[in-house]
Structure 1
Amino acid sequence: MNLSYWEIKSWLTNIDYTVVGSGIVGLNCALSLKERFPKSRIVILEKGILPQGASTKNAGFACFGSLSEILDDLTSHTEGEVLELVKKRVQGLHLLRQNLGDTTIKYQQLGGYELFNEVDMELFETCMSRMDEVNQLLKPIFNQDVFCLKGNLFHFKKVNTQYIFNAFEGQIDTGKMMEALLLKAQSRGIKILNNVSVLSFLEDANAVKVVTDRFQLSTSKLLIATNGFALQLLNEDLKPARAQVLITKPIKDLHIKGAFHLDKGYYYFRNIDNRILLGGGRNLDFKTEETTVFGQTLLIQNKLKTLLATTILPNTPFEIDYSWSGIMGIGAQKKPIVKQLSNHVYCGVRLGGMGVAIGSLVGMELAGLVD
């Protein structure tokens, strides 16, 4: 890339902190650094035109885990670890709302509903038998029961006639959230360079040389916040997971309101702008969806459309308006990886599909590692 003296001097010289990734974590990290070090020069490198990965592509669920998801977590985590996971998600959502405001991000607490396939009554019965146990576990966070039973208010088909309801769950407008975060960062003098892919980095005693597909720069500290894409730069317990999503055209008199989970959270849908947004299906083909390549597959898209036609909107005509995918970062453990990797390099990755909930907190914790 043929850079001028002015470009090098104004954008690529005397950089204190370079953040890789302009998603929820990266922007919150940069903002937190700017608050701690007001005179610092901060650059964010983003490979996309907009924040790539999942930050502008998620479903906008302000959630902390359905009952079946929490029970599943209890099979691989201790009770203390699960309690800490939920606590971090609740704290992260509070931080997001505090930082940007409910009106700005269009936060609505319409509640969350977990649905159960009528052919999978065993899962429903397991959840029912352990609901009191999980409510008791979460009481230190919420000071009241989180989960309770509700009837089939929305007349979905092919599901059990009872749902498990969570009054604390909400939803946001993902685009509004990211617009606000980007504007806030730019207003603080944080420079965001788009269409720049970081290829590698080399650390010496005093700084880190960052090699991109367009230029090289030197930075005092490097902070990696690319979540599902981080394996290209790091060797951690992390792998990408693609999530496919679609949204209908507006539906007249849409009566469905809330955030809904189905099949242990592998499918999820909600109302937005008189439309139904539906995502999931990764469990149909885990291996294919373990990718950093954006795109859709017929297998999953057809399943999502079938769910809309037979379960969610069985008596309502609908048309698909858009479909897309996002890339999450997952691993054997649900706890995010937030750590110092070497003298001048740090990372905040593996958000486990909970970026909206914990992204703000992970970004702040990542910035907090820097002295």
Structure 2
Amino acid sequence: MNETNLSYWEYKTWLSNIDFTIIGSGIVGLSCALRLRTKFPKAKILILERGMLPNGASTKNAGFACFGSLSEILDDLNSHTEAEVLRLIQKRYQGLQLLRQHLGDQIIDYVQYGGYELFTTHDKILYEDCLSKIEQINSLLKPIFKSDVFCSKENIFNFNNIQPKYILNQFEGQINTGQMMEALLQKAQNSNIKILNNCTVTNFEDNNTAVEIKTDQFTFSTHKLLIATNGFASQLGIKQVKPARAQVLITHPIENLHIKGAFHLDKGYYYFRNIDNRILFGGGRNLDFKTEETTNLGQTQLIQQKLEEILHEVILPDTKFEIDRRWSGIMGVGDQKKSIIKPLSKHVFCGVRQGGMGVAIGSLVGTELADLL
């Protein structure tokens, strides 16, 4: 659809008198649009999405309803103050509650099997450090959870080549990512929020009275622009956010699969879970950070081989399995874990940098982005 090919009807119905335009139809973009609809019932709200489906990480993640493993929290305490870490975890937990309230546990298939952190045989020092700090972190998190979050547990799932105990986080759960996004899209549609897919924003300009938006298909004007593109934020000039690709695979169904839960391995750089009698397994960007700093949704042999190797040697050592599907998603990361929710100019605002915690904080970031107006 080039500029000259837009009919009067197309332009008038979809692209004229727009109050709010949101770039990105992921968790943040949709949550933002729904919040705007509550605040401004009569507003004309448009979402632009580059993909056929939400194209960053919202439909491509592992569906972890998590807020940080013990080793990750300890690592964050090296670069953030206790108050900052507490605030991060509180926002993630709040965001998860918000998501569950918005859509309902049944619709998103929320189950709380707990989250387990596994430590490899090489990780003895980290393992012992984590075990020794369980009480300290539990008391730090008491104000949020009102009870102990972490405890140690024997290797009940018979994983191989790992330290004898896991660290269990009883508050961690998992969701069905597809059902969650379908429900959010349905809600947006029912709230008269227009979504145009396969439409990439190439440029925008705040001219003080409105924002002119240029896409690969047309140019139009909007009163306010809200950017919710997370991993793709740097393409729109938000340089504090770097893309981080996460590669994932899933097995064919496995008979009598006894593994249940959300699992973190090797400081959270690997993660796996059960879904439909399959193992969904992702991670490995620590093998080659530079290559994985990309918005290209491909896979690499290096990481895919490593994922299969860990499946064979650690997760399913005595079980035959076959890989059904492989994919990747793009996260948005930066020097700080805190999301960037701020005005960029008089009429342009952004809610980006979820740091791999989009499922947890996406709903909250979207809400806070809308509340900037």
TM over 0.5: yes
Deviation of 1:6 after TM superposition, in Å, equals 0.6
Which runs of structure 1 show a deviation greater than 2 angstroms over 4 or more consecutive aligned residues? none
What amino acid sits opposite 1:157 in the alignment? N
Deviation of 1:292 after TM superposition, in Å, equals 0.6
Deviation of 1:236 after TM superposition, in Å, equals 3.4
Matched residues in 2 for 1:236 and 1:80: separation?
A: 26
Matched residues in 1 for 2:206 and 2:345: separation?
A: 9
What amino acid sits opposite 1:64 in the alignment? F
Deviation of 1:120 after TM superposition, in Å, equals 1.4
Alignment partner for residue 128 of structure 1, among 114, 128, 131? 131
* Corresponding residue number in structure 2 for 1:152: 155
Q: Deviations over 1:214-270 (max 9, x none)?
A: 001100000000001011112331100000000000001100000000000000000
Q: TM-score, normalised by structure 1?
A: 0.99
**Alignment of 1:318 onto 2:310:** no
**Alignment of 1:119 onto 2:128:** no
Q: TM-score, normalised by structure 2?
A: 0.99
**Alignment of 1:52 onto 2:59:** no
What amino acid sits opposite 1:137 in the alignment? L
- What is the percentage of aligned positions where both structures have the same residue? 69
Deviation of 1:161 after TM superposition, in Å, equals 1.2
Matched residues in 1 for 2:245 and 2:354: separation?
A: 13
Matched residues in 2 for 1:197 and 1:24: separation?
A: 18
Deviation of 1:297 after TM superposition, in Å, equals 0.3
- Aligned-pair Cα RMSD in Å: 0.5
Q: Deviations over 1:92-135 (max 9, x none)?
A: 00000000000000000000000000121101011012111111
**Alignment of 1:9 onto 2:8:** no
**Alignment of 1:20 onto 2:15:** no
Q: Deviations over 1:303-328 (max 9, x none)?
A: 00001011000000000000000000
- Structure 1 residues without counterparts, runs of 5 or longer: none
**Alignment of 1:355 onto 2:358:** yes
Within-5 A mapping of 1:38-187: 38-187=41-190
What amino acid sits opposite 1:50 in the alignment? L
**Alignment of 1:229 onto 2:250:** no
* Corresponding residue number in structure 1 for 2:301: 298
What amino acid sits opposite 2:228 in the alignment? A
Residues matched between the structures, number: 370
Matched residues in 2 for 1:204 and 1:298: separation?
A: 46
Alignment partner for residue 222 of structure 2, among 206, 219, 224? 219
* Corresponding residue number in structure 2 for 1:32: 35
What amino acid sits opposite 1:42 in the alignment? I
Q: Deviations over 1:311-347 (max 9, x none)?
A: 0000000000000000000000000000011100000
Q: Deviations over 1:138-186 (max 9, x none)?
A: 0000011100010000000000110000110000000000000000001
Matched residues in 2 for 1:122 and 1:344: separation?
A: 50
What amino acid sits opposite 2:67 in the alignment? F
* SS in structure 1 of the partner of residue 79 of structure 2: coil
Q: Deviations over 1:288-313 (max 9, x none)?
A: 00001110000000000001011000
What amino acid sits opposite 2:258 in the alignment? H
- Structure 2 residues without counterparts, runs of 5 or longer: none
